[in-house]
Amino acid sequence: MKKAMQIIMTASLLGLITSPAMADDMPDGAKLFKKKCKMCHAINKKKVGPAVINMSADADMLTETITNGRKRMPKFGHKFSAEEIESLVAFIQRNHAE
Ligand code: HEC
């Protein structure tokens, strides 16, 4: 019993157990963005592509652009799952200026 508690404590310390409030299976849009988008997009300043705060907040348009690309924006439809693209759209909407 004591050992089981220890394992649970260790696992939660390592972040292996998330609190119920966070327990959805959505991929982490922020993390994906950092890995795949940050070289061209910053949150609040223009780089190769527009700043996130200046992007559209329209989910359909964002999904379409990420999936199929546009001009110098590469397409990611073949690299990401629908859920991953959704998490990126949510990330952009969260960071979009009102
Ligand atoms: C190689 C550089 C590059 C990378 C990597 C890149 N983008 Fe882009 N992105 C661009 C450029 C350039 C544009 C502007 C396209 C245009 O002129 O129409 C753009 C436009 C966009 C737009 C449209 C914004 C609007 O309101 O018009 C979205 C959304 C977007 N990018 C999301 C992403 C996401 C999410 C990722 C990572 C998965 C990503 N981009 C990775 C260069 C990039």
pLDDT, tens digit only, all 98 positions of the chain: 667 666 556 665 555 555 445 546 779 999 999 999 999 999 999 999 999 999 999 999 999 999 999 999 999 999 999 999 999 999 999 998 76
**Is residue 74 exposed (0-12), middle (13-18) or buried (19+ Cβ within 10 Å)?**
middle
Q: Quote the pLDDT of residue 26.
A: 74
Span from the CA of 21 to the centroid of ligand 1 (angstroms): 31
Distance 3 CA to ligand 1 centre (A): 49
Measured in angstroms, how far is the CA atom of residue 23 from the centroid of ligand 1? Answer: 29
- Which pLDDT belongs to residue 16? 54
Contacts of 75 (CB under 8 A, 6+ apart): 66, 67, 68, 69
Question: What would you report as the CA-atom Rg of the chain, rounded to the nearest whole angstrom?
Answer: 17
Q: Is the CB of 55 under 6 A from ligand 1?
A: yes
- Dihedral sign for Cα 17, 20, 26, 28, please: negative
Four-CA torsion 64, 69, 70, 74, nearest 10 degrees: 160
Q: Is the CB of 85 under 6 A from ligand 1?
A: no
